[in-house]
């Protein structure tokens, strides 16, 4: 009987915890300022994994994060395809494959190029300015990924329903941005400016169709320089 009761109380506690987590991602259940941002394509269909972020326009002081962002090389691809960090946030490149990769950046002011052997990581790269970084691998040329470095900690990606939630610590005017490297909008972005004094909802609808996201897999069965 005691085991049954313990299990019952455990399930109740777990249910309450999950409920709290769900509510934390719903602007209707958040006491602080919460911005609900939805992103849809030209047909009005929800888009997932779109980056949304807020930039303060009234000189609000926002926190910095010391949490390390991990960008993995897994199954000969970048995981995730899009990563987002704040300037000066630690970034760790982790090779989870059993082969060597040679990671490099394309056409930006935070250029880097390094080999990373199986199971190793590299945390020596610093990103101290806002920029978009396209990444590739000199050994596996089908690999592609992006790192978006921002001057704000207020960023998130949209979920499967095309929605992202951001809790804003201070009232004020903000520029709200949606970004994706495959967006055909100007500078791969859409922006609006809003005064945030409480919970608000923002909807973005793209005016142009998205480009296809490149498939991260080789066209050949032969793995060139897999033991490099």
Residue 199 confidence (pLDDT): 93
CATH superfamily of 66-151: Cupredoxins -  blue copper proteins (2.60.40.420)
Domains 32-62+154-209 and 66-151 share a fold: yes
What are the domain boundaries of the chain?
Answer: 1-30, 32-62+154-209, 66-151
Cis link prior to 80 (omega < 30° from 0)? yes
Residue 130 confidence (pLDDT): 93
pTM: 0.82
Topology, domain 32-62+154-209 = Immunoglobulin-like (2.60.40)
Residue 105 confidence (pLDDT): 93
Residue 101 confidence (pLDDT): 96
Q: What is the DSSP letter of 62?
A: -
pLDDT average per 10 residues of sequence, the chain (228 residues): 43 38 52 88 97 96 91 95 96 96 84 94 92 94 95 97 95 97 95 94 96 79 48
């Amino acid at each position: 009987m005691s085991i049954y009761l313990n299990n019952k109380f455990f399930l109740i506690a777990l249910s309450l915890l999950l409920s709290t987590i769900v509510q934390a991602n719903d602007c209707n259940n958040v006491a602080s300022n919460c911005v609900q941002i939805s992103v849809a394509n030209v047909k009005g269909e929800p888009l997932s994994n779109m980056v949304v972020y807020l930039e303060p326009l009234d000189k609000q002081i926002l926190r910095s994060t010391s949490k390390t962002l991990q960008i993995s090389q897994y199954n000969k691809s970048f995981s995730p395809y899009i990563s987002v960090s704040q300037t000066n946030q630690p970034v760790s490149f982790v090779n989870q494959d059993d082969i060597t990769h040679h990671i490099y950046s394309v056409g930006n002011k935070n250029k880097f190029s390094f080999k990373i052997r199986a199971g190793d990581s590299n945390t020596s790269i610093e990103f101290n300015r806002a920029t978009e970084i396209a990444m590739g691998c000199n050994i596996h040329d089908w690999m592609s990924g992006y790192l978006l470095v921002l001057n704000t900690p207020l960023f998130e990606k949209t979920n499967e329903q095309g929605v992202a939630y951001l809790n804003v610590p201070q009232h004020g005017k903000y520029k709200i941005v949606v970004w994706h490297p495959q967006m055909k909008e100007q500078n791969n972005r859409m922006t609006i400016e809003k005064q945030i004094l409480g919970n608000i909802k923002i909807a973005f609808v793209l005016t142009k169709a998205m480009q296809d996201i490149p498939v991260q897999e080789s066209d050949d069965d032969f793995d060139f320089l897999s033991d490099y």
